[in-house]
Chain A
């Protein structure tokens, strides 16, 4: 593919993970940016705060990530002017889906996870493919380390499907502190076996009191 003279994409590697809880949402992403076997920087944030209770984490091609974030931030500003309020998380979720699909024939090479609180204050995580198909889930991982992380999250967090009838309650039983610890653990493990994941992990926690951020060091090799 890269042999084409007009190939414009590049995979910068990295991993993003998010977990939704009953009254919180945690989103994490590593901070390494790579091209091929080279590391361009160890300090690159893949997380973007779009609204008060809504945060986007993106892995894939960071050029497209930057363009997408700018696009969404601009549209959010217009929404605020027109509606006199911030976009809620499910609103932003559908908007992101449409934004991605409008580039269906020249895709954003981005694998996104949107996290935040819905209007009831419950944590929500939306996971996307590159062209905009999306779904609300209890947890998600995207990027080069996703294949190493998702099985662990399935084991710890898997809950009954929302499609089951009669419906079964699907709330993640973890507390906020346990979820953050779990995220730190999975990133440490993914760093061991994925060359594109490492350096630092940026963890963002959204709950009723607001948004807080912490950084944890990872292996730099």
Chain B
């Protein structure tokens, strides 16, 4: 009798309440999550997060329109009040037809997105066809749900074009998974929603949609201290994803926030031009 292939089901061989192994006992054994041996797990996690201040803070957005999906994000990472990086890649390329976004804990998102990419590839090899956006988002959501309550911070969007057309899902560390047409995630999301919602039309061209996304990210970085750096915009179409633009938001400021010169300043600008 043919043996059933269950490798695709093995979403999480690691259990939260796992055995506390001796550290460094057997380097050849598969790595697993060690847990601190203490009675107050939640308190320990709270203190550990406060101590290590993992990098986070962000604005990301994605929306579905006539020509596919637009995905955009800023590139700033903060540790407490310190800007730890202005060049973080927040849009991860899971495969040539699917993108994921990073918001929340940088390490959590990077690790689990890499893990998702591996699982998607294994699915392709096992089933001889690319995984759907529905499937990929479900894999990630199930993993995150199994770690629910342990302090992971992940607010991600999975965007892609599969056999059913453009797909967009929002997945978070609470185990929530929502299918939708318009999402923005992160500390700057309220500002991005304002611009995105007021300018959105289903029948936009790719250039118009990219411009809307770029504006929305710019305005979010303007008001939110934890967002900034470079605004990247990607488009996912039937042929796969393509990066459309990467602009420093400092430069975008002069494009989107024109200064209204007072009469004196206008005179000075005119004379220096003359």
Interfacial residues, chain A to chain B (CB-CB below 8 A) = 1, 4, 6-9, 67, 70-71, 74-75, 78, 97-107, 109, 127, 129-135, 137, 147, 161-165
A131 engages B51 (CB within 8 Å): no
| Contact present for B24 and A71 (CB under 8 Å) | yes
Tell me if A1 and B51 are in contact (CB < 8 A).
yes
Would you call A163 and B246 a contact (CB within 8 A)? yes
> Which of B60-68, B92-100, B103-111, B266-274 lines the interface with chain A?
B103-111
Interface residues, chain B, with chain A CB atoms under 8 Å away: 23-24, 27-28, 31-36, 38, 40, 43-45, 47-48, 50-55, 75, 77, 79, 82, 84-89, 105-111, 150-152, 229-230, 232, 243-248
Docked Cα-Cα span, A98 to B35, in Å, equals 16
Majority secondary structure of chain A interface residues (helix, strand, loop or mixed):
loop
Chain B residues near A70: list those with CB within 8 A: 24
Rounded to whole Å, the gap between the CB of B111 and the closest CB of chain A is 5
Q: Which residue on A lies nearest to B55, using beta carbons?
A: A129
Question: Is A164 touching B55 in the complex (CB atoms < 8 A)?
Answer: no
Question: Is the beta-carbon distance between B52 and A131 smaller than 8 angstroms?
Answer: yes
Closest chain A CB from B146 CB (angstroms): 13
CA of A109 to CA of B36 in the docked complex: distance in angstroms? 13
**Cβ of B77: which chain A residues have Cβ within 8 Å of it?**
133
Contacts of A105 in B (CB 8 A): 33-36, 45, 150-151
Counting from the closest, the 7 A-B pairs by CB-CB distance are A133-B106, A130-B52, A133-B107, A165-B246, A131-B107, A163-B230, A106-B36
Known: A127-B85, A135-B85; 8 extra A-B contacts, CB below 8 A, are: A1-B47, A7-B47, A104-B107, A130-B52, A131-B105, A131-B108, A163-B230, A164-B230
Task: Specify which of A4, A106, A132 is in contact with B35 (CB 8 Å cutoff).
Answer: A106
Residues in A with CB closer than 8 Å to B229 are 161, 163
Q: Is the CB of B27 within 8 A of A107?
A: no
Nearest-Cβ distance from residue B106 to partner chain A, whole angstroms: 4
State the Cβ distance, A155 to closest chain B Cβ, in Å: 14
Q: A129 near B48 (CB under 8 angstroms)?
A: no
CB closest chain-A residue, reference B43: A4
Question: How far does the Cβ of B25 sit from chain A's closest Cβ, in whole Å?
Answer: 11
- Nearest CB on B from A187, distance (A): 20
Tell me which of A1, A6, A97, A135 contacts B111 (CB under 8 A): A97
* A1 and B50 in contact, given A98-B111, A135-B87, A164-B246 (Cβ under 8 angstroms): yes
Contact residues in B for A135 (Cβ distance below 8 Å): 85, 87-89
Quote the shortest CB–CB distance from A149 to chain B (angstroms): 13
Cβ–Cβ contact B82 & A147, under 8 A: yes
Q: Which residues of A contact B47 (CB under 8 A)?
A: 1, 4, 7
In the assembled complex, the Cα of A101 lies from the Cα of B23 at a distance in Å of 14
Of the candidates A132, A147, A163, the one whose C-beta lies within 8 Å of that of B107 is A132
Q: Are B248 and A161 in contact (CB under 8 A)?
A: yes
- The residue of chain B having its C-beta at the shortest distance from the C-beta of A102 within the complex is B31
- With most chain A CB atoms within 10 A of its CB, the pick from B79, B151, B230 is B230
Q: Which residues of A contact B230 (CB under 8 A)?
A: 161, 163-164
Expressed in whole angstroms, the Cα–Cα distance for A160 and B54 within the complex equals 25
Whole-angstrom distance between the Cβ of A167 and the nearest chain B Cβ? 8
B245 and A161 form a contact (CB under 8 A)? no
Residues of B within 8 A of A78 (CB): 27-28
| Distance between Cα atoms of A135 and B86 in the complex (Å) | 11
In the complex, are the beta carbons of B150 and A133 less than 8 A apart?
Answer: no
- A130 x B54 contact (CB < 8 A): yes
B250: shortest Cβ distance to chain A, in Å?
A: 11
- Contact in complex: B51, A9 (CB < 8 Å): yes
Evaluate whether A103 and B55 lie within 8 angstroms (CB atoms) in the complex, with A133-B106, A164-B246, A164-B247 already known. Answer: no
